[in-house]
Structures are given as C-alpha cells and as structure tokens.
Amino acid sequence: MLDFRVDTFLMVCRFMNFTRAAEALNITQPGVSQHIRYLEEQYGVKLFAYSGKKINLTEAGKTLLSAAITMKDDELLLKKIMNQQSGKGRELVFGATMTIGEYEMPKALMRYLHAYPEAKVKMIVADTKELLEKLDSGEIEFALVEGFFKKKEYDFQVYDSEPFAAVYGSDYVFQKNTRKIEDLLEERLFIRESGSGTRYVLERYLEGKNLLLQDFNHVIEINNISVIKQMVENGKGITFLYETAVRQELRSGVLKKIKLEDFDLIHDFTFIWRKGSIYKPYYKELFCLLHGSGKTDESKVESGV
C-alpha cells in the first residue's frame, strides 16, 4: 500500500494549494504541511518552490509526481487483480478516442471476450486530453488514443498507423477543379469538435501547408462521425476522416476520395499506460490480445525514457 502521505502530496499537486488539499482530504492544513515535510526529509529534496502565496513543483517534485501517479495506478490494478483471484471475475476498464472506439475496438473486444467470455468490460470514449486525465487518476487501466501525449510520462505501443482520407459524396459538385488542398477552400467543410484527436492531427497537417481551418469559407463543426458522414454522403460538403471510419462507405461507393497531389497524412493509433508500471508485462499481453498480433515484438514497445 502507498504511504498515506503520498496521497496528500498528490492532492496538493492537484490543487497547488495546501488549504484546498486539506479541505479535500478532511485534515488540517498543518497536517498537510507535516506530510509534505516528511516526504521531503525522506527523499532529501524540496518538493515545492514558494513564491509568495503561490507554490510550484521543483524538478524533484515533478519526478515524484510522475512516480506517485504510476504507483497509485499500480495499486488500483493490484486491487483488481486480487479481486479476480478471490473469484469476483475479470474486469477490463479502459478508454479510447472516438474513431478508435467506434471503428477499431469492436473486433478487439470480440477477441478479448472470446478469451474471457465472463469478463466485465467498460470502455470510456473521450478525447485524448480527458483520457490522459482518467489514466493519471487511475479511473482507467490504459487508453487507445489518436491525439498527442507526453511520451516521457507513458509507455506506449503503436496499435495501428491509419491514413486520413479527404472524401465527398458521389453526387457532390465541387466549386472548382481540385488538385491541391487550397482548391478546397471554397467547399463546405465538416469537421470534428475542438479537442478531438482527428481535428488536432488535421490542423497540424494544414499548418504545415501554411493553412488554417479558418481559411475554409464554410466550416461546420459536429462531434459525431456518423452525422458527418451522412451529411457528406448527401452532398452537403466534404470532410477529412481516418480511412478506417469511411472504409465501408468507400467500398460501397457512397463516398469517394478526393484525389489531391499534396495530401498524404498517416497518423498512429497508440496504446498507452503509465510509464514505469510494474505491470508492463500485463499491458503488453493485453495489447497482443486486443490487437490480435500474437506474441509482443519487444522492439515495438516504446518508452518515454
């Protein structure tokens, strides 16, 4: 079990305020200060730097925070494993971004349930930022994300590398001949909501072409992939989505790829867990089961070291 003073440290880091941490923990502020002093004496470092009433983590404090989050997650996973061994059954709780959750995970979960038919499964679909927060707080064991994350904080393995597709409905009439992305600026563009990994990856790619979403004359933001596809299928505009999200529609012909000379975007879907976890072998085996890839290739397991 973690030292209860580490819980105090994590709460102070959450609020960056001793008083609010004390209120959340239902202890006195001097009690919080005492716990922090104990940890500082234990490790022989200062964990916080003080500037008036404001506090900030020192470099040593940042190191302890990362380690403490991982240890907290490992403790929660240990409790789950102990429950399984006591006969309560296997349980899987994880997160996935929308595209991965809707188009990649059905087959993965079928593989998992084939191996563990009695298992309980909870999949939380959210954007990358929210999933990282849930991973850090121990609400989920791991996450499959399309957005960007700090590689020094997480161990990770590439689940898939998926190309983007610029698509339109089979009956759509373009405003002009299209050869390059700039030729699409007069079209109505349907995009995912701000914060989604799909949108963020696209925005970064456009920036590399010296373009912004605001350069499109008519942008419509929708946080549902199915609705975006329906609008595009019915000739209301164009969109950029991962090819996995439109593969069926492309095969049936209701959607078609826009042939562009300067658009070649491929991005990774990544399986991540807290860096330094003692349960790394468990996550690697779980990855293989979900991915259907057999034994893990050690060379493909990345670390933020």
CA-based torsion, 91, 96, 100, 103: positive or negative: positive
Going by pLDDT thresholds of 50, 70 and 90, the confidence category of residue 77 is confident
Q: Tokens 């072998």 identify what position?
A: 281
pLDDT value, residue 154:
94
Q: Is the pLDDT of residue 102 over 60?
A: yes
CATH number of 4-66: 1.10.10.10
Measure the CA–CA gap between 255 and 240, rounded to whole angstroms.
12
Provide the β-strand partners of residue 154. 274
Higher model confidence: residue 111 or residue 295? 111
pLDDT value, residue 190:
97
Q: Is the pLDDT of residue 300 over 90?
A: no
Under CATH, to which class is 161-267 assigned?
alpha beta
Q: Which residues contact 159 (CB under 8 A, 6 or more apart)?
A: 100, 104, 144, 268, 269, 270, 271, 287, 290, 291
Angstrom distances, CA of residue 280 to CA of 16, 144, 150, 283, 284: 30, 16, 18, 5, 6
Q: Is the pLDDT of residue 57 over 80?
A: yes
CB 265 within 8 A of CB 201: yes
| Full-model pTM | 0.76
- The secondary structure element, H or E, covering residue 261 is none
Q: Is the pLDDT of residue 30 over 50?
A: yes
Provide the β-strand partners of residue 239. 167, 190
Measure the CA–CA gap between 185 and 292, rounded to whole angstroms.
41
pLDDT value, residue 87:
53
Q: Is the pLDDT of residue 301 over 90?
A: no
Mean residue pLDDT across the chain: 90
The residue among 121, 90, 88 whose CA lies nearest residue 106 is 121
Topology alike, domains 76-159+268-302 and 161-267: yes
Going by pLDDT thresholds of 50, 70 and 90, the confidence category of residue 293 is confident
Q: Is the pLDDT of residue 48 over 70?
A: yes
Highest mean pLDDT among 47-56, 71-80, 100-109, 274-283: 100-109
Question: CATH topology for 76-159+268-302?
Answer: D-Maltodextrin-Binding Protein; domain 2 (3.40.190)
Q: Where are the domains of the chain?
A: 4-66, 76-159+268-302, 161-267
